[in-house]
Amino acid sequence: MFASPLSAKQSMPYSAAENLRQNSKKIMKIWEERARKEVSASVHQDSLALQNSLPLYLEQLADALSPQSEKNPAQIAKIHTESVRIGKRHGHERAGYADYTVSQLILEYHILRQVVFQVLEVETPLAARERDIIVDSIEQAVNDAATQFSTTLRDIQEMFIVTLTHDLRGPVNVVKMGTQLILRRLERSDAHLDIAVRMVSAIDRMDAMIQNLLDASRLRAGQGLNLEFEECNLNHILKEIVEDLNFSYGERFVIVADEAVTISCCRKQLRRVIENLANNAVKYGTSNTPITFTLRQSKTRVSLAIHNEGEPISPETQAILFQQFRRAVSSKEKNGWGLGLFLAKNIVEAHHGTILVESAEGKGTSFIIELPNLADS
């Protein structure tokens, strides 16, 4: 006897796409059991939160496994777009859990790939084309999820930094004003005067660190810094800075300058750059040696070099000096976030200038700022 068309159809094996749809719940059950054993962060999640977008991903994978002849170009593009969206959604949700790391996120997908193959190949091995589609799809999902995980985590960290630094400004300002009030009431002969001066200096450094974090967050968000340009006499600015430095560190600062160097600048921000470079020269230079400010101008450019004696900066360290949160090995025990030079570079570039470092054995270290001359602005 011949088999009826219906019975013949019933005896045909499922396609990989149909098989995946039929067994998606089984796949998720096995995956969850393994994930709870192998992914440490998963133990804190209930079943729904743990699986989140993965069932949707399996549905998209089933669409990708369906025969190519059943899909037109628009459908293929839609499958890819939806797959990317689901991968990013998974990464976004995982970044919201404090215990998850990107490594654990990737491990989840590796487990999923193993379980998919395990379930789909119970009866018949998958064709080479089907295996390639599954592997490529999961690798793309890993990339999409990991990228979104990193982006979301960065956004969360940025929001935390902005909130923290904003909230810190209030109490820091209260302490600063209180300490300054105490300082005004102390006589020069009072034994506590030096302590009060050090306290004000420490509060100023703390306030500067908070401002650096806020400004770095603005730059990362693409907002830029608030710069108000005006005509600035660099000779006067340098003199003011050196007077303040002499008060804190003693008479070791030397100015070598052309006369009447005037540029268009944001006085507050440019002074901040110079002070940062000078403080670095104090921290990393040889103690009790001169720190020299050399100010020169040509018809089109103004150059300011801040030089200190001491051990040179290696070429490897020079390559990362102006990156945020990157610091030289020698600076590990110093105070700060590793944001000063990153912000200095951005401020100088906002003035249409450049900043670079020159450092060599026996010659010390110079940070050189070049800015447009006022006549050329």
Is the Cβ–Cβ distance between 33 and 119 less than 8 Å?
A: no
Residue 339: what pLDDT?
72
Q: How far apart are CA 353 and CA 137, in angstroms?
A: 47
In this prediction, residue 333 carries a pLDDT of: 44
Rounded alpha-carbon distances, angstroms, from residue 171 to 157, 198, 202: 22, 18, 14
Q: Which residues have CB under 8 Å from 279's CB, separation 6+? A: 340
Average confidence (pLDDT) over 335-346: 73
Three-state secondary-structure class, residue 292: strand
CB 351 within 8 A of CB 266: yes
* Architecture (CATH level 2) of domain 230-376: 2-Layer Sandwich (3.30)
| CA dist., res. 311 & res. 286, Å (int) | 8
Q: Is the pLDDT of residue 54 over 70?
A: yes
Identity of the amino acid at 150: S
How much is the pLDDT for 222?
A: 63
- Tell me the β-bridge partners of 296: 303
Mean pLDDT of 347-366: 92
Closest residue by Cα to residue 374 from 248, 251, 261, 222: 261
Count of C-beta atoms within a 10 Å radius of residue 97: 16
376: Cα within 13 Å, side-chain hemisphere: 14
Residue ranges covered by each domain of the chain: 11-157, 168-220, 230-376
pLDDT band at 10 (very low <50, low <70, confident <90, very high): very low
- Which of 137-146, 153-162, 325-334, 362-371 is least confident? 325-334
Task: CATH number for 11-157: choose from 1.10.490, 1.20.144, 3.40.50, 1.10.3470.
Answer: 1.10.490
Six-digit token string for 143: 């990339």
The pLDDT, as a whole number, for residue 225 is 74
pLDDT tens-place string over residues 106-133: 999 999 999 999 999 987 899 999 999 9
Instruction: Decide if pLDDT at 159 tops 50.
Output: yes
Going by the DSSP 8-state scheme, the letter that residue 285 receives in this structure is S
DSSP 268: H
**Separation of alpha carbons 146 and 105, rounded Å:** 7
CA–CA distance from 262 to each of 282, 303, 307, 376 (Å)?
27, 12, 21, 11
**Pairing mode, strands 291-297 and 253-257:** parallel
Average of per-residue pLDDT across 41-65: 83
| 377: three-class secondary structure by DSSP | coil
214-215-219 Cα angle (round to 5): 120
The pLDDT of residue 332 is 42
Burial state string for 106-120 with b = 16 or more CB within 10 A and e = fewer than 16: ebbbebbbebbeebb
Residue 263: which H helix or E strand, with range?
A: strand 262-265
Average pLDDT of the chain is 82
Distance CA 264, CA 372 (A): 8
Q: Which residue type, as a one-letter code, is found at position 186?
A: L
Residue 93: pLDDT above 70? yes
The enclosing H or E element of 315 equals helix 315-318
pLDDT at 310 over 80: yes
Kindly tell me if the per-residue pLDDT of 237 is higher than 90: yes
What residues pair up with 206 in beta bridges, in sequence order?
A: none
Residue 5 reports pLDDT greater than 60: no
